[in-house]
Structure 1
Amino acid sequence: MVDTATELQNRPDEAADIKLGKVSIPSLFRDLPEAVIVADENRHIVWANNAALMMFGYTIDQLIGQSTALLYPSKSDFVEAGEAHFSNTGTATEHNYECEYVRSSGKVFLGETTGGPMRDAHGTVLGYFGITRDISKTRAVEQLLNSLYKVSSDQSRGTDEKIRAILKLGCEHFQTDSGLVSWVREDDYTVLYSYSDIAEIDRGSTFQIDDCCCAKVLAENGPVACNSSKDSGCAPHPCYSLFVLETYIGVPLIVDGELFGTVNFTSPEPRAPFEAGDLELIKMFAAWIAQQLSIEKELNRLTFLN
């Protein structure tokens, strides 16, 4: 990981010294939260701010003098961006666009970029600049919400199928192998719905709540996440030996204003640390599942009345 906190701060005059013709790169670019990269007329990097180093995973010395092709997943992506935005005869009608980039690790991400040529008073291109922010997480959440809506509004599916589909979406998003919806009454934890790439737990399977990771969720009355049970000290808990779980994220399930049980996603292998946004997202998953259970309960009530 690049130490961006000191990478450019150790060179306080660097931004002021970089010039393209008579154009100086403003020092204020250094502290922008968005990645800023400046290249010469041949699209070779002459300057990058701290955010760019963090985003792409390089040191300043690894970037300076390199072609900006280094930042694109393929040569064709580099050429296409150049033809549209970074040439003397760019074809783009505007220079605010979305594009895929690649980090030093090889991971591809979606960025939103504002960029284009820098010209002198006579219109001669001196170089190019790009200001980029990573929108891959935002776009992933948008796609997830769209998928959840499609599942929930699909009248061809019954409640069981919808909830399993929601659990599958959760597994994909949280990078886990299994998802469960439980019903909790007193000390009993009963599995109502499950989805798993490994082995599903039979509906109706009942465990003691104290043997389950969800005990902590209920005790804290909120979302709980753990990406490595051994490293976090959770391993001695009975649920670790019972289910061999390394990754866990769960939340209370509230249906019609009352505690119903829990929703959780798990894996036997550790994963990258969860983020604050994941704790909000699992509450959203629980809300979608609660809606389905509430609708099912109301339909059963109407059927009974009729």
Structure 2
Amino acid sequence: MSEPERRNYFRDLYELGSDPSATLGRKIEQAITIGRDRLGVDYGVLSYTGHGEYEVVDSTIESGEFRAGTIHDLETTWCRHVVDGREVLTVADAGASAYSDDIAREATCLQCYVGAPVRVDGDIYGTLCFSSETPREEPFDEDEQRFVELLTRWIGHEIERERHYQALDAQNERLDEFAGMLAHDLRNP
């Protein structure tokens, strides 16, 4: 990869965080779209695997089996390898790889895959993956793998941040209720 292409990866990552008013959903949508486009594959998917299932949280797939909101058997997906191994998995051409007879190849029809675990508060939340139904001519290089890892870290951080803000809002709401009751009791002993 040339130096200008490498800089474009970092520019894309920088731009993800540049809109402070963007919602978590919008940020995730941007991240998976940027990853899909930058890697030159057909699909980008963020999944939640916390309950042993493969729940599609967001996806560039707008219709069909793996659109956002669908739930699948984790054991039939490529992502099970990522969850089990807790590291990046790359398969440029499933048919010509050690995964040629993997159940995910038939179940998903995906012949090209790169995915990494998304960690939230130290635990595996799910996976971020990019894939195509056709094999890729070149293997995913180190820069592309690092780019996917950076995207997963960024998404994990954004999910953590959103959860912490929600917890803080709930705590403030309870505190306001308590202060209201206390004020009422002081006015009406």
TM-score range, shorter chain: 0.7 to 0.9
Q: Distance in 1 between matches of 2:71 and 2:64?
A: 16
Residue number among 177, 201, 208 corresponding to 2:66 in the alignment: 201
Secondary structure (helix, strand or coil) at the match of 2:26 reads helix
CA positional deviation for 1:153:
2.6
Report the counterpart of residue 190 of structure 1 in structure 2. 55
Segments of structure 2 that go 5 or more residues without pairing to the other structure are: 174-189
Q: Distance in 2 between matches of 1:198 and 1:174?
A: 21
Which TM-score applies when normalising by structure 2? 0.82
| RMSD (CA atoms) | 1.9
Equivalent residue letter for 1:303: D
Matched-pair contact (CA < 8 Å) for 1:177–1:197? no
Instruction: Work out the percentage of aligned pairs sharing the same amino acid.
Output: 22
Q: Distance in 1 between matches of 2:65 and 2:107?
A: 15
Residue 290 in structure 1 maps to residue 156 in structure 2: yes
Between the two structures, name the one with larger relative contact order (CA 8 Å, sep ≥ 6): 2
Residue number among 261, 279, 304 corresponding to 2:126 in the alignment: 261
CA positional deviation for 1:200:
7.8
Report the counterpart of residue 29 of structure 2 in structure 1. 164
Larger relative helix fraction: 2
Equivalenced residues, count: 171
CA 1:220–1:253 in structure 2 vs 1: closer, same or farther (change >3 Å)? same
Residue number among 263, 271, 280 corresponding to 2:146 in the alignment: 280
Q: Deviations over 1:76-126 (max 9, x none)?
A: xxxxxxxxxxxxxxxxxxxxxxxxxxxxxxxxxxxxxxxxxxxxxxxxxxx
CA 1:180–1:242 in structure 2 vs 1: closer, same or farther (change >3 Å)? same
CA positional deviation for 1:197:
7.8
CA positional deviation for 1:199:
5.7
Q: Distance in 1 between matches of 2:154 and 2:2?
A: 20
Report the counterpart of residue 5 of structure 1 in structure 2. none
Q: Distance in 1 between matches of 2:45 and 2:170?
A: 28
CA positional deviation for 1:204:
2.7
Q: Deviations over 1:125-175 (max 9, x none)?
A: xxxxxxxxxxx5322222222222222230232111111111111011211
Residue 299 in structure 1 maps to residue 165 in structure 2: yes
CA 1:198–1:276 in structure 2 vs 1: closer, same or farther (change >3 Å)? farther
Give matches, 1:23-42, under 5 Å. Answer: none
Q: Distance in 2 between matches of 1:209 and 1:298?
A: 28
CA 1:191–1:151 in structure 2 vs 1: closer, same or farther (change >3 Å)? same
Report the counterpart of residue 139 of structure 1 in structure 2. 4
Segments of structure 1 that go 5 or more residues without pairing to the other structure are: 1-135
Q: Deviations over 1:240-274 (max 9, x none)?
A: 12210011000111112221111110100111211
Q: Distance in 2 between matches of 1:186 and 1:283?
A: 23
Report the counterpart of residue 175 of structure 1 in structure 2. 40
Which TM-score applies when normalising by structure 1? 0.52
Secondary structure (helix, strand or coil) at the match of 1:270 reads coil
Q: Distance in 2 between matches of 1:258 and 1:241?
A: 29
Q: Deviations over 1:177-208 (max 9, x none)?
A: 11111111243111111124886833331112
Give matches, 1:114-133, under 5 Å. Answer: none
CA positional deviation for 1:298:
1.6
Equivalent residue letter for 2:167: R
Look at both structures and tell me which one has the larger radius of gyration over its CA atoms.
1
